[in-house]
Chain A
Amino acid sequence: MATMKNFETALKKLEETVEQLESGDLPLEQALKVFSTGVKQAEICRESLKDAELKVQQLLRQDDGSFQRDTFDDI
């Protein structure tokens, strides 16, 4: 979830930079600065979306009412 938070923040920033670039006539130097911020955010987003191996667990209820997780591999 932590990486997803990072992702959301980065995505929002990226959206903002794109809009900023698209909306105004920024002077070149500032445009380049905004652009490189955007590129950095895009990298963070890509990193968070990196594929990960699927993990399958099973939720089991204990007698005392608490929950326990077990790996699930019937396949």
Chain B
Amino acid sequence: MESAAAIPVSTLISHVQELVEDNFVEVLVLGELSNVSRPASGHYYFTLKDSLAQIRCAMFRSHARNLRFSPTTGMAVVCRGGLSVYPQRGDLQLVVRELEPEGIGSLQLAFEQLKQKLQSEGLFDQERKQPLPTYPTTVGVVTSATGAAIRDIINVLSRRAAGVNVLLRATSVQGDGAAAEIAQAIKEMNQDGSSDVLIVGRGGGSREDLWAFNEEIVARAVFASRIPVISAVGHETDFSIADFVADLRAPTPSAAAELVVKNRLDLERHLDQLILRLGDRMTAQLALLRSRLQGLEKRLRAPGDLIRILTLRFGQLEMRLKQAICGTLEHRRQHVNMLGRQLDGLSPAGVLARGYAIVRRRDSGAVIHASEEVEEGSAVTIHLARGELVATVTERVNEQE
């Protein structure tokens, strides 16, 4: 090979680009939208495909502005635009200038048809749905062992420290045979029977990635499960057939785990409420009793009051008693003074003071009342008010009979 004749890649691509762009200036293409994305730039990027082939497409902001609907994956559309080559990748792409919906896409059609069929068979009926267990202890999970779903579920459950165990039955969740595997796993979880609730699902992906959960075999397995099933397929907005059949649909695997422990959290709240009500009720009853007691006490008069009243009355009595006693004493005192004065008048001292005298025998000290009681010549003592006289009886004058 002669390297002199070789051309650089860029020259080749540039030739191809010229060829393609000159010959396919305007084409009308029919296909199904897939992997639609719209970054912040406002351009749309998607894949247009049918059962045999696909082509990358771009619709730039200047044209996308004119769209009256949001192109979504699965939509069958007719695109008008020109072919181009994206040199950096050597990719062939269709630069779309106009986009029109065309009926609905074939996958979507299949989805709608199955949905219709299962609905008419009653697989979606609300009354066929099983309630979630209130106190699950084992949560069965049917998903990929390596996907985001099982990690998310384990994260949520361990963060909640909800005291539940996880039992994983690993399956593939996309590609050929995935639907059959999922259906088999659901069946086996039922045979095993130790799970209280099943989470069946996977993390987000393209519509094709999630397709297994739109297949009839999965729908029938979910419906047949005696263990309540929570579906958790992909993103918030995508609904799968499994979602319709499941006893409960969770928007994401994390949300499914939250739902499983929500009951438990509700239960804890319920328990808290009961305990509060219990306490309130008891407190209320005690408060009622206390106020009744206070009422009765008032009516009974508090012992304190009684004592106060008694003290008051006692005080008054005491005062009266004192007054009475003092009065008597005063009276007595006055009486005694008076008697004293009377006695003073009667006392020998008083009599002597008035000039009388007492005469006693000198020898015996006996008071002499009559002249016969002494002999002439005997000594007598004369008591005066002040002092005494000692005298000798010189003559007796006896009283005439």
Number of A-B contacts (CB under 8 A): 101
A51 to B264, CA, bound (A): 11
Whether A42 and B264, one on each chain, are in contact in the complex, defined by CB atoms closer than 8 angstroms, is no
B246 in the interface, Cβ–Cβ < 8 Å?
Answer: no
Secondary structure call for the B interface? helix
B135 contact set on A, CB distance < 8 A: 4, 7-8
Closest chain B CB from A32 CB (angstroms): 8
Q: Give A47 to B27 CA distance when docked, in angstroms.
A: 72
A59 cross-chain contacts in B, Cβ below 8 A: 140, 167-169, 188-189, 192
Choose the segment among B64-72, B88-96, B271-279 that binds chain A (4+ C-beta atoms closer than 8 Å). B271-279
Over the window 273-292 of chain B, the binary record of Cβ atoms lying under 8 Å from chain A Cβ atoms (1 yes, 0 no) is 01101100110010001000
Q: Which of B29-37, B151-159, B326-334, B348-356 contacts A (4 or more CB under 8 A)?
A: B151-159
Q: How large is the interface on A (under 10, 10 to 19, 20 to 34, 35 or more residues)?
A: 35 or more
Would you call B163 and A52 a contact (CB within 8 A)?
yes
Q: Flag B160-173 by CB within 8 Å of A: 1 or 0 each.
A: 01111111111000
State whether A50 touches B274 (Cβ < 8 A).
Answer: no
Q: Which 3 A-B pairs have the closest CB atoms?
A: A52-B163, A51-B161, A21-B281
Besides the known contacts A21-B278, A56-B166, 20 further A-B residue pairs in the complex with CB atoms under 8 A apart: A7-B135, A11-B267, A14-B274, A18-B277, A28-B289, A35-B278, A35-B281, A38-B278, A42-B271, A45-B271, A46-B271, A49-B163, A49-B267, A54-B154, A57-B167, A57-B168, A59-B140, A59-B167, A67-B192, A74-B151
B interface residues (Cβ-Cβ under 8 A, vs A): 135, 137, 140, 145-146, 150-151, 154, 157-158, 161-170, 188-189, 191-192, 264, 267-268, 270-271, 274-275, 277-278, 281-282, 285, 289
